[in-house]
Structure 1
Amino acid sequence: MIHNLKLASLLSFVAGIVNVAGFMAVNRLTTNVTGHFAFFADGVIAQDYAVAGVYLLFILSFLAGAFASNMVMELVATKNLKYIYTIPVLLETGILVCIAFISPEMLLRKANIIACVLLFSMGLQNALVTSVSNAVVRTTHLTGLFTDLGIELSQLFFYRKKEQQQKLRASIFLRTVIIGFFFLGCLTGGFGFFRWGIHILCLAAACLLAGLMYDTLKYRVVVLRRRYLQQF
C-alpha cells in the first residue's frame, strides 16, 4: 500500500504536468485516448477520413507505448529483475526531455507528431504503473478513478465490518491521493508553461529520475541489510 501510494503520487503528478503542458503546447489531449475516440468517430461519420486517421494515430500511439513498455519489462525480466522498470522510465524521461527543447515554431508545425510521441510516453507510463501496482493504480487519466472512488464511497454505507472499512478507507485514500497529485501536476504544468513554456516537461522528467534513483537506492539498502543479517 505504501509503495503504491508513493508510486501513485509521483506518476500522477508527472501525468498532470504532461496533460496540461502538452495541451497548451499542441492543443491536443496528450495523456489519454477517451476524447480521441469521440473525434475519431466524428471524423468517420462526417467522412473526413484524414481527420479520423489522425485521431486513430493518436489512439494507436498510446497503445504502442503500453505495448512497448510491457515488452521491455518482459524481456528485461528474463535477464535481471532488478532493472525491470528502469528502461521504461528512462525511455519516458528521454522523450519528455527531447520534447522540452523543441522550439515553439516546431511545436506548431509538428503538433500531431508531438502529440503522438507524448501519448506514446503516457502509454509507457500507464502500462508501467499498472504492472508495478498489480492493476491497482492508473495515473494518466481520472475517469476510472472517479468511478472506483464513487463505488467505494457508497460501499462505506454497506460494508460495516472493521476489516472491510479499513480496506475501503485505504483504497479511497489511495485514489484521492492520485486525483490530488494529478490536479497538482495540472496546476504546475499550467503555471509552468506560462512561465517557461514547454521546458516545464523537464520538471516531469526530473521527477521520474528522482523516483528511479530513490527506488534504486532503496533496493541497494534492502540488499545490504539482508547480507548484514545473514552474517549473524
Structure 2
Amino acid sequence: MVTEGTDLISKLPKWVEAGAFILAFIAGSVNAIGLLGFKHQSVSHLSGTATLVGTQLLNSSYTDLFHLSGIMLSFMLGAALSGALLTGSSLKLGRHYDTLLVIEGLCLLSAIYLLQGGSFYGHYMASAACGLQNALATTYSGAIVRTTHVTGIFTDLGIMLGTTLKGERFDRRKAILFLLIIIGFISGGTFGALLFNQMQFQALAGPALICFILAITYRIYKTKTAPRR
C-alpha cells in the first residue's frame, strides 16, 4: 500500500506541493471559521459530524439531527460535483480544476450572504465547498492527497515511519508533501481565526478570494503551456 502511494506521488508534477499547501490553507481557514461561528461545528471533514448524528439519535433532538445530516449531505454533493466535472485519475492540464475552484469560491461567498441573513443554509454551502475541494484533490492523487483534513495524513506519516524502522526506503518527497499539507491546514486555521475575530462570517471572503486567485493562476498556466496548433 505504501509502495502504491509512493508510485502515485512520484507521478505528480513538481508544483503539486504548492497547490496542496494552498488548498489545505483554504480548508483550514474555512474549518476555523466554522468552529468559531457555526456552533463549533466542523465543515471541512465529517468524522465529528457523523459522531454528533449518532448522539442526536439518542437525544431525540430532531432539529440538530436534520442540520447535521444536511452538513454531511452537502459535503457529499460538493464531492459529487467534482466527480461529475472531472474525469480520470491523473493530473492533466485542460481539466476543470479552475471551474471547480471558482464554484468553491462562489459557495463560500454564498455562505457569507446566507449566514449574515441568519440562515443555517450557509453552513451547507461551506460544507459543500469543502466536499468539492476534497474530491478535487482526491481525484487526481488516488486518495493519497487529502487537503480538507489531516487525520489520514498523520496516519500515512506514521505508517511511513514504521516501515522505515523495518528497513524500507523513506520517501522524502511524500513526507514533505504531507508536512506541507499539515502546515497549510494549521496556518490556514490561524488565518481564519484572525479574520473571524475581525470580520465574523465575512471572513469566508478570504479563502474565497484565494480560490479565485488559484483558479486564475491555473487558467493562465494552462494557456501558456498548452501546445500550439
State if a TM-score over 0.5 links the two structures: yes
Question: What residue in structure 2 maps to residue 63 of structure 1?
Answer: 76
**What corresponds to 1:78 in structure 2?**
none
Cα drift, residue 180 of structure 1: 0.3
Mapped to 2, the partners of 1:65 and 1:11 lie a distance apart of 15
Which residue number corresponds to residue 213 of structure 2? 210
- More helix by proportion, 1 or 2? 1
Counterparts in 2 of 1:6-25, with a 5 A limit?
A: 6-25=18-37
Q: Which residue of structure 2 lines up, in the alignment, with residue 152 of structure 1?
A: 160
Any conservation in 2 of the 1:12–1:182 contact (CA below 8 Å)?
yes
* Matched residue, 1:77: none
Distance 1:5 1:155 in 2: 23
- Equivalent residue for 1:189? 192
> Are 2:138 and 1:130 aligned?
yes
Is contact 1:29–1:115 with CA below 8 Å preserved after alignment? Answer: no
Q: Distance in 1 between matches of 2:47 and 2:56?
A: 15
Q: 1:110 aligns with which of 114, 119, 123?
A: 119
Provide TM-score, normalisation by structure 2. Answer: 0.84
Instruction: Quote the offset at 1:102 in angstroms.
Output: 5.0
Counterpart contact for 2:113–2:122, Cα < 8 Å: no
Moved more, 1-10 or 176-185: 1-10
Q: Are 1:98 and 2:110 counterparts?
A: yes
* Cα deviation code 1:130-162 (max 9, x no counterpart): 1133322101111111111111122222234xx
Cα shift readout 1:96-124 (whole Å, capped 9, x = no counterpart): 123335564x2xx323x221111111111
Match status 1:170 vs 2:173:
yes
Cα deviation per residue 1:31-50 (whole Å; 9 max; x = unaligned)? 11111111111111233334
Q: Does 1:221 align with 2:220?
A: no
Unpaired runs of 5+ residues, structure 1, are: 75-80
Query: C-alpha root-mean-square deviation of aligned residues, in Å?
Result: 2.0
Partner of 1:34: 47
Pairwise CA distance, 1:20: 0.7
Unpaired runs of 5+ residues, structure 2, are 1-11, 88-92
Going from structure 1 to structure 2, the CA distance change for 1:87 and 1:194 (only over 3 Å counts) comes to same
Whether the 8 Å CA contact 1:7–1:129 is kept in 2: the answer is: no
Distance 1:97 1:52, change over 3 A: closer
